[in-house]
């Protein structure tokens, strides 16, 4: 493989996303902006916003220092049964 081609495929440091500021046009950035504005979310609400795996997004954001409070709640599904899901609320950045 051509070494020059390999080097150009690597992201430049100045173009890499910051670990503490997800870009607004990413799934993480979109969900974080909504939650920073004061809205709490469960997995079904996040699905309508384009996040098909909210717990994974929250886990990734927590790994970057963002803090969330979560509570279990019961939610009625479109099929009429109730399921146990977590509701996440943004708290802020870790110390």
pLDDT digits (tens, 9 = 90+) for 31-46: 999 999 999 999 999 9
The reported pLDDT for the residue numbered 94 is: 76
Is residue 58, in this structure, part of any structural domain at all?
A: yes
The residue with greater pLDDT, 4 or 72, is 72
Residue 61 burial (C-beta neighbours within 10 Å; 0-12, 13-18, 19+): buried
The pLDDT tens digits for 44-60 are 999 999 999 999 999 99
Is residue 81 a part of any domain in this protein?
yes
Tell me how crowded residue 39 is: count the other CB atoms within 10 A of its CB: 13
Note the residue count of the chain: 95
In a domain, 11, yes or no: no
Report strand pairing: 66-76 vs 41-42. unpaired
Whether the per-residue pLDDT at 3 is higher than 60: the answer is no
Tally the domains of the chain: 1
Q: What is the pLDDT of residue 2?
A: 52
- Span 60-94, pLDDT tens digits: 999 999 999 999 999 999 899 999 999 999 999 97
- Which of the four pLDDT bands, split at 50, 70 and 90, describes residue 20? low
Which of 92, 91, 74 is closest to 83 using CA atoms?
A: 74
Q: What's the confidence (pLDDT) of residue 12? A: 42
Domain around 32: 23-93
Instruction: Give the CATH number for residue 43.
Output: 1.10.10
């Amino acid at each position: 493989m051509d070494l020059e081609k390999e080097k150009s495929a690597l992201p430049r440091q100045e173009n890499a996303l910051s670990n503490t500021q997800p870009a607004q046009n990413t799934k993480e950035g979109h969900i974080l902006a909504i939650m920073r504005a004061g809205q709490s979310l469960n997995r079904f609400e996040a699905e309508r916003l384009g996040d098909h795996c909210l717990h994974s997004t929250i886990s990734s954001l927590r790994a970057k220092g963002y803090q969330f409070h979560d509570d279990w709640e019961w939610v009625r599904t479109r099929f009429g049964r109730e399921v146990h899901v977590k509701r996440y609320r943004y708290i802020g950045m870790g110390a």
